[in-house]
Structures are given as structure tokens and as C-alpha cells.
Amino acid sequence: MIASRRNTGALRALVVDAGEDLAAFSRDLYANGLRHRIFEEQGRQVVETLTDAEAATIVARYRAWRAGDLALTALPPVGARRTFAWRTVVASAPVVFATAALAIVCYPATWPIDANRLGVALPWLTATPVHIEGHALAFGTLRETCARLEVWRFVTPIFLHFSALHLGCNLAGLLAFGLRIERRFGSLATLALLLGTAVLSNVAQVLWQPDGLFGGLSGVDYGLFGFVFARGWREPGESAWAMPRSIAVVMIVGLVALSFGVTEPFGLAIANAAHWGGLAAGALIGVGWPRR
């Protein structure tokens, strides 16, 4: 059987006998940037992909392979050094990796704070205009941000991180949830989701605490987590949304614990409104998002 669509939106490009060895064929598909997964069902092997174009290409390559017109790349000899296909990995989720790269590039923007300075980049990345009055930070308002048409400020706080640990944890969350979303729904949808959760989480934090310096991808991370959780509830049979219960428990328990100020005795303030705002936004979008 060739090319049939499941009700989850995934497309079955091929269904072949269980005894057929598709290992080399799968490597060839990955090498050519064709997203797919292979699983066994009722004694048959199913090759599943996401789009009609990818399915057509997979079918064409399979027929060429079986007709002897396509030579597949052989496995490297035992002990040979293998290289990781970074280009293929990055190309599979450009929005997620571009966001991670921007966060890394912007990380030094917060370093001058340790010397009681703002530096050059930081004042352009905060949610509202900021300057130093005496020895304290003075913040503008969202109305001032809009009046100046500095609309980028609704997004750019997600690129501000105040320690290497802060940055590393937030990047881990971005990759954990963002990659599965972009590979399932594509880059444009992921970009829209990321921008939407960024804006809503940043605005929520400014409204809750107007006079505070905050930043980080954690609000977006909670938005992506909320989206994945909501999609798993809507599509319980879809492997893209399968998530260990322990991860969901850690995310929720951690959010509640941080909201009660468990870190404040250690001098660590948390932008909890951004977390809750991102989670609510991501979950609502995930519930209402169409299957395709």
C-alpha cells in the first residue's frame, strides 16, 4: 500500500512486508533531508511522513531502489569515524536553532549589570525603556514602549539571561519542546507560536511587576510545554506529543514552588508571571490549533 493519511495528520507513504530490511533505505532518506519514521503495525512495516511532497519523493526513491536504479550508501566499516550531520539537524528546525543562537549571542548583554552599568545592548532588549537614576534602575511603561514604536521590546526580553546556568536550562527547555513542534507543524507555525508566547509572557510579567528587570526563554519554554501537553490531550495517539509523566510533574511542581518564592531567600528572583502567562498562552493555542 502507498500513500494514505491517518486521522492524526501523518501520511503513510509506504506499507511493506515486515521481513524487508529498510535500514539502508531509511539512512538514504535521512541523508536527503526526508523526514520520516518507520514502525511495525499488524505484521507490516509502515513508513510515515508529514507532507504529500515528502511522501511522493519517498515512494519514488523506494521504487527506484527496488528497480535497481538507486544505489544506497553503504554502512561505514566497523571502527570508522562517523560525523554528526549538523546541517541536517539544524535544517529540520531552523526557527528553534535560530532562537537558541540569538539567546547565546545576546548573553553578554547582561554582563555589565555586575558592575552597576547597563552597557550598550541591554537598554535595547528590555521590555520597557530603562536607565539608571542614581544607583537604581528606572523603568518606563508599556505605553511608552508603544508610543516610541519600539515593538521589538515585546519579544527581545526572551534573549536576556543572567547566568550560564540560566541560559543552559532555558535552552534545554527550548530544544526539548520546540524541536518536536517544529518538526511536526513546520517553521512558520513554530515561529508564530514562539512569538505569541513571548509577547504574552513578557506583557504578563510587566503588568505584574512594572519596575523589574527580567529576561529569559523560560516563559516561552512553559508556553511550548503547554502546547505539547495540550496537543497530547487532543491527540493521545500521536507520538510527536508523547511526554514522560515525570517531565510534566517536574515542570508543574517547579512552577508552583517558584511561585511561592522558594528561591527568594537565596537572592534569586523569578519572573513567575512570565511563566504562568506563557503556560496559559501555549496551552490555549495548543487546544485550539488545527490538526494540520
- Residues designated catalytic: 218, 275
As a whole number of angstroms, the distance between CA 146 and CA 137 comes to 20
DSSP state of 75: P
As a whole number of angstroms, the distance between CA 259 and CA 267 comes to 15
Are residues 155 and 193 in contact, defined by beta-carbon separation less than 8 angstroms? no
User: What are φ and ψ of residue 151, in 5° steps?
Assistant: -70, -20
As a whole number of angstroms, the distance between CA 86 and CA 192 comes to 25
Number of H helices, E strands in the chain: 11, 6
Find all residues with CB under 8 Å of 255, minimum gap 6, and list them: 222, 272, 275, 276, 279
CA-nearest of 66, 10, 64, 72 to 41 is: 10
Q: Per DSSP, which regions of 71-225 are E strands?
A: 130-133, 136-139
Find all residues with CB under 8 Å of 3, minimum gap 6, and list them: 11, 12, 13, 52, 55, 56, 59
As a whole number of angstroms, the distance between CA 199 and CA 223 comes to 11
As a whole number of angstroms, the distance between CA 107 and CA 216 comes to 10
As a whole number of angstroms, the distance between CA 53 and CA 49 comes to 10
Cell of residue 183, nine digits: 518538526
